């Protein structure tokens, strides 16, 4: 394992490298230690921009200035950056324009915050886009920055933070792969697999694996295949994504079988979370015969939408609302809920980071054309929450605690919060903090369903 892709060149690079690192240290006091993926990308891009590294991230054998085409920093799309380090690395190593897109509201907010540390002159190079397709389109006319004389056709570089779900990488490549002269996928070694190389090989002739650095590695696909490039003029990147679908069996008498849809990246795909099933059974038992007339119902972290659709079937007159950090989840929920309430405006949905303090206001959704929506404390009669337990490969309760706090605040006086969680976690005190009459509604080997009501105003 190398300590740096650029060990051989640290003296040559002192100036530009130190300049980039000064900004990155302003961004995170933990730089570079806590950001192995962004660090290897910074080194790779810098090495390429200076003509010191070849496309595989290895030293150029004959040295930098030996008649090879002048290095080019191409316009760059950054997809799925979780915290902003990849965006900063791209800008600070010379990309003349950078378009950013991803699925998570929290990650986009982190990237926006990261960009604030850039000098004003570089900040203008960054654009935030609603989707990978929009990011690539935004760069279509962007100039490249050629270092030195001559230069090769710049093309477009796409940098992807290796997604948790393989289906997300496949989707990114379906949409943008055919327009990218170079695709750089960065990830932790233990999460990368030869399947990824094969996928990259479908559109590009050469797939390189960089040396590893601090347990991160990059895959670089170059040499766009002619057939793939030609077909990019067709529908591949524009055609809508087809969601995975499955039929979920009924968990309780009042809930029918539900056709669940899940776009790539949606938590759990199209399968039903067993904790959500336990929660729905408990709600079905308590709300039997209740039509939900005028009730405002919210599922916070709505995932593939099965839970919200089941609540819609249980409470056919209720107004349904769903919020998720992931746009894929929000889009999936729209389809899943529509399958139980066809022909109506079935649910008010929003992509939001539910851990941020209330009130929440969604912006009008750019190319998605959604209207702004407000979420204020005390505005729902029933809030359900099945919080995430893992973030990537890490077990965390921090997000769940923040979601519980906001979920409880969103409950109207006299209204109810219902939470399901892994039984070994201790969430009761978090509910008791804001709610009264906190009790356990159900429990099985793995999950516990807790509920509480908001005190009357
Ligand atoms: C365990 S799933 C629950 C999905 C669905 N409610 C169910 O019960 O089947 C948790 C969901 O929370 C979402 N989530 C994670 N962090 C979030 C955040 N900060 N704000 C909003 N939603 C979040 C995830 O994207 C995921 O869809």
Grouped pLDDT means (10 residues each) for the chain, 457 residues: 80 83 96 96 95 93 56 90 98 96 97 97 96 93 57 77 96 94 96 96 96 96 84 59 96 96 97 98 95 96 98 95 97 96 80 96 62 88 92 71 97 98 92 96 97 94
- pLDDT at position 9 is 82
CA–CA separation, 377 and 407 (whole Å)? 9
User: What does the pLDDT read at residue 113?
Assistant: 98
- pTM beyond 0.95, yes or no: no
CA-nearest residue for atom 14, ligand 1, is: 301
CA–CA separation, 198 and 233 (whole Å): 23
The per-residue pLDDT for 239 is: 74
Euclidean distance between CA atoms 271 and 247, whole angstroms: 8
Q: Cα separation of 255 and 119, whole Å?
A: 55
Dig out the tokens for 454 from the structure.
């908001």
- Measure CA of the first residue to CA of the last residue in the chain; give whole Å: 61
Per DSSP, what are the bridge partners of residue 440? Answer: 450
Residue 315 pLDDT: 96
Tell which one of 270, 324, 357, 425 to mutate to probe ligand 1, the residue whose CB is within 8 A of the most ligand atoms.
324
Using most ligand atoms within 8 A of CB, pick from 164, 299, 325, 418 the residue to mutate for ligand 1. Answer: 325
Q: Which of 282, 354, 388 gets mutated to test ligand 1 (max ligand atoms within 8 A of its CB)?
A: 388
Give the 3-state secondary structure of residue 419. Answer: strand
Structure-block tokens of residue 85: 């380090």
User: What span, in angstroms and rounded, lies between the C-alpha atoms of 187 and 383?
Assistant: 36
Per-residue pLDDT at 133? 95
pLDDT at 70: 55
Q: Is the dihedral of CA 91, 94, 97, 103 positive or negative?
A: negative
Query: Which among 54, 64, 244 is positioned nearest to 148, based on CA atoms?
Result: 64
Nearest protein CA to atom 13 of ligand 1, as residue: 301
- Cα separation, 256 vs 309, whole angstroms: 10
Per-residue pLDDT of 237-274, as tens digits, reads 567 789 999 999 999 999 999 999 999 999 999 999 99
- Return the pLDDT at 63: 58
Exposed / middle / buried, residue 236 (Cβ in 10 Å: 0-12, 13-18, 19+): middle
- Radius of gyration for the chain, computed over Cα atoms and rounded to the nearest angstrom: 24
Question: Ligand 1 test: best mutation among 246, 264, 301, most atoms within 8 Å of CB?
Answer: 301
The SS3 assignment for 424 reads coil
The string of pLDDT tens digits covering residues 370-391 is 666 789 999 999 999 999 986 5
Which atom number of ligand 1 is nearest to the Cα of residue 306?
9
Contact 259, 336 (CB under 8 A): yes
Q: What is the DSSP letter of 444?
A: -
**DSSP symbol at 16:** H
The closest of 390, 316, 392, 398 to 354, measured between CA atoms, is 398
Token pair 């040295």 is found at 63
Return the ligand 1 atom nearest residue 268 CA: 2
**Can you give the pLDDT at residue 148?**
42
Ligand 1 centroid to Cα of residue 354, in Å, is 9
Question: What CA–CA distance (Å, rounded) separates 420 from 427?
Answer: 9
Beta carbons of 91 and 111 less than 8 angstroms apart: no
Pocket of ligand 1 (CB under 6 A): 106, 267, 273, 276, 299, 301-303, 306-307, 323-326, 329, 353-355, 386, 388, 399
pLDDT at 238: 60
Q: What is the 3-state secondary structure (H, E, C) of 96-115?
A: CCEEEECCEHHHHHHHHHHH
Instruction: For residue 301, report the distance from its CA to the centre of ligand 1, in Å.
Output: 3
- Helix (H, G, I), strand (E, B), or coil: what is residue 25? helix
Say if CB 70 and CB 49 are below 8 A apart. no
pLDDT at 366: 47
Measured in Å, residue 124 CA sits from the centre of ligand 1 at 33
Question: Encoding tokens for residue 241?
Answer: 């994504």
Q: State how far the Cα of 237 lies from the Cα of 175, in Å rounded to an integer.
A: 4
């Amino acid at each position: 394992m190398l300590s740096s892709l650029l060990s051989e060149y640290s003296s040559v690079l002192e100036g530009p490298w130190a300049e980039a690192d000064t900004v990155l240290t302003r961004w995170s006091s933990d730089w570079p230690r806590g950001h192995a993926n962004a660090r290897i990308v910074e080194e790779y891009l810098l090495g390429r921009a200076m003509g010191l590294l070849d496309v595989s991230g290895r030293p150029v054998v004959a040295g930098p200035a030996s008649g090879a085409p002048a290095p080019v920093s191409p316009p760059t799309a950054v997809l799925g950056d979780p915290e902003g380090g990849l965006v900063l690395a791209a800008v600070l190593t010379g990309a003349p324009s950078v378009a950013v897109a991803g699925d998570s509201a929290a990650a986009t907010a982190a990237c926006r915050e990261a960009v604030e540390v850039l000098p004003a002159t570089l900040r203008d190079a960054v654009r935030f886009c609603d989707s990978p397709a929009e990011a690539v389109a935004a760069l279509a006319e962007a100039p490249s920055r050629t270092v030195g004389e001559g230069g090769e056709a710049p093309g477009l570089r796409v940098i992807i933070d290796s997604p948790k779900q393989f289906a997300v990488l496949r989707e990114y490549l379906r949409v943008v792969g055919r327009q990218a002269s170079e695709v750089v996928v960065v990830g932790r070694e233990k999460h990368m697999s030869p399947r990824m190389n094969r996928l990259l090989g479908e559109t590009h002739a050469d797939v390189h694996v960089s040396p590893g650095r601090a347990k991160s590695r990059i895959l670089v696909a170059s040499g766009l295949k002619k057939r793939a490039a030609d077909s990019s003029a067709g529908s591949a990147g524009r055609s809508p994504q087809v969601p995975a679908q499955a039929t979920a069996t009924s968990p309780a008498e009042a809930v029918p079988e539900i056709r669940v849809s899940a776009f790539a990246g949606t938590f759990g795909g199209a399968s039903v979370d067993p904790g959500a099933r336990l929660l729905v059974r408990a709600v079905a038992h308590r709300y039997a015969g209740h039509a939900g007339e005028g009730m405002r119902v919210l599922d916070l972290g709505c995932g593939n939408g099965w839970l919200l659709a089941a609540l819609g079937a249980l409470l056919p007159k209720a107004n349904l609302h769903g919020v998720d950090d992931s746009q894929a989840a929000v889009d999936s929920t729209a389809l899943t809920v529509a399958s139980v309430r066809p022909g109506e405006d079935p649910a008010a949905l929003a992509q939001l980071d539910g851990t941020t303090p209330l009130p929440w206001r969604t912006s009008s959704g750019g190319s998605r054309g959604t209207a702004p929506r407000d979420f204020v404390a005390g505005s729902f009669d029933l809030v359900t929450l099945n919080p995430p337990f893992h973030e990537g490969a890490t077990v965390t309760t921090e997000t769940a605690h923040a979601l519980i706090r906001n979920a409880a605040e969103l409950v109207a006086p006299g209204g109810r919060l219902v939470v399901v969680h892994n039984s070994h976690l201790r969430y009761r005190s978090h509910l008791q903090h804001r709610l009264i009459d906190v009790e356990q509604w159900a429990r099985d080997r793995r999950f516990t369903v807790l509920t509480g009501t908001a005190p009357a105003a």
